[in-house]
Structure 1
């Protein structure tokens, strides 16, 4: 039998801003176990990590300069995930974790196989649906980038 250490508690997932940097347009989401929004320090770290991992140029034949960042202030650790769309329907996903026992030290954990926690998965699922609706299967017959960038998740999950 699986032993659960704590009861599930809903957390706020909030769209925080559209961050534009070096040709990239990224939706930024915040998730926090203890407040409405993650700390500004954590937000700044997410942008620093994004600048380091995002490929440049942002827009190429197979890359659109579009994606999202998740900043999750968790109870046992902090998580940052940086995602962008490429090759029409593929999501590039990169995860960093900061243990509360080792503040300031974010480790790149993507090669270890970690994808996301149950709250982060809500953001990934929502963004997948936005991409399909606004880009891949837009009712106008052509991608609508503005529609994609204006679709935001704000929900307690």
Structure 2
């Protein structure tokens, strides 16, 4: 497997690090999928602006389904969200599900960009990139404005990311 970051930081002559330039990426809500008793909102981000290939989306959904036993071992509240991110140098899959107390549990996988590449567990110290954090923030706000405001979890599921870019 290749590096665990899409674009590494570059060193400049004076020894300081410089970061890549931010460029918006296409993002959209894909679908709601059922995983046992849970509803998972699936979102997608593409660095090149294209749509996610159906085969890649199906591999991601299969990996989410495989995570059902782990999610069911937690005091989950029946809802969560996933982000499938086609980066420039890798493919990322983030799965989050809501627990009591406003806690969000997570799993993170990475695959190479080849269509047949399999998602593998990412190192536990990794969390999310700047583009994924935009959708995570949307989902956090949706959770606090619905389920944590004494509205039904179905109201949370009905809230969909509607932006075009992150």
Identify the TM-score tier after normalising by the shorter chain.
Answer: 0.7 to 0.9
How is 1:50-129 mapped onto 2 (pairs within 5 angstroms)?
A: 50-55=64-69, 58=72, 62-100=75-113, 104-111=117-124, 113-129=125-141
The normalised TM-score by structure 1 is 0.84
Deviant stretches of 4+, over 2 Å? 54-60, 99-103
Contact 1:15 1:28 survives alignment (8 Å): yes
- Cα distance in 1 for residues equivalent to 2:96 and 2:69: 11
How many residue pairs match? The answer is: 150
Residue number in structure 2 paired with 1:151: 159
Tell me the distance in 2 between the aligned counterparts of 1:154 and 1:72: 16
Query: Displacement of 1:153 after TM fit?
Result: 1.1
- Correspondence 1:31 to 2:39: no
Determine helix, strand or coil for the equivalent of 2:117: coil
In structure 2, runs of 5+ residues without a counterpart are 1-15
Aligned CA RMSD, in angstroms, stands at 2.3
Gaps of 5+ in 1: none
Normalised TM-score (structure 2): 0.80
TM-superposed CA distance for 1:101, in Å, is 7.4
